[in-house]
Amino acid sequence: MSEKYKEDDDGSSTSSEPLLGPNYKDRKASMIKHFIFLGIWIVLFGLEFIYRQPFFDKSIELQVQLQPKITDAGVAVFEALSIYGNGPPYFLGFAIMYNWFSRGRAFYYICFLSAVGYLMNITKMAYHEPRPFMVNSDIKVYGCTAEYGNPSGHALFAAGGHFFIFLDICHARKGYKFSRPIYYILLFLTISLSFLVGFARFYVGVHTIN
């Protein structure tokens, strides 16, 4: 008889697998990882109330010092990164996926992007933090609206969009297998582009480090 089954006293066979299923250990490990991630997020969110104002003040100081060093080429590069980090390119990606790939997954993408947009607007209203040029007239701004600053919608869409696509392609979708070097190159590009968009918003004087 297979080791997977044992006979009861009455002669019947029952499975020796745990009642919670054969993948219980994997699910438990996944839950632990999620709780650790949630704990780190809660700690960072709590610390944000402590470092928010010091970072804001330091950002204003750094941007005043940076203003004389800003070049036309730098503005062009970082404005391009700002446009890249804005929402429309990601919705264009949704349109491409909707027309040429799985429509179900396309709606999966649009739901995520909509959630990011909702989170951005709610947190902007909750923070109602001014932009740098609103509190210091020495800071020249390069293209921006008059809405609240923190958090940066561009940086939020860039980080959320890049990591969402990376995780979807490299972890969630079956049949997409990358070698370890390619995997880490994609991870590096995902992180780098996210940080570059965030720095671009700081460079053009519309957001602070916090």
**pLDDT score of 4 more than 50:** no
Interval 167-185: pLDDT, tens:
888 877 665 677 788 888 9
pLDDT at residue 188, rounded to an integer: 92
Q: Hey, where are the domains in the chain?
A: 55-203
Average pLDDT over residues 188-199: 88
**How many whole angstroms separate alpha carbon 113 and alpha carbon 161?**
8
Interval 71-123: pLDDT, tens:
888 888 888 887 777 766 677 767 777 777 777 777 887 888 888 888 888 88
Measured N-to-C along each axis, helices 87-100 and 153-167 cross at an angle, to the nearest 10 degrees, of 30
Average pLDDT over the chain, rounded to an integer: 77
Entry pTM: 0.70
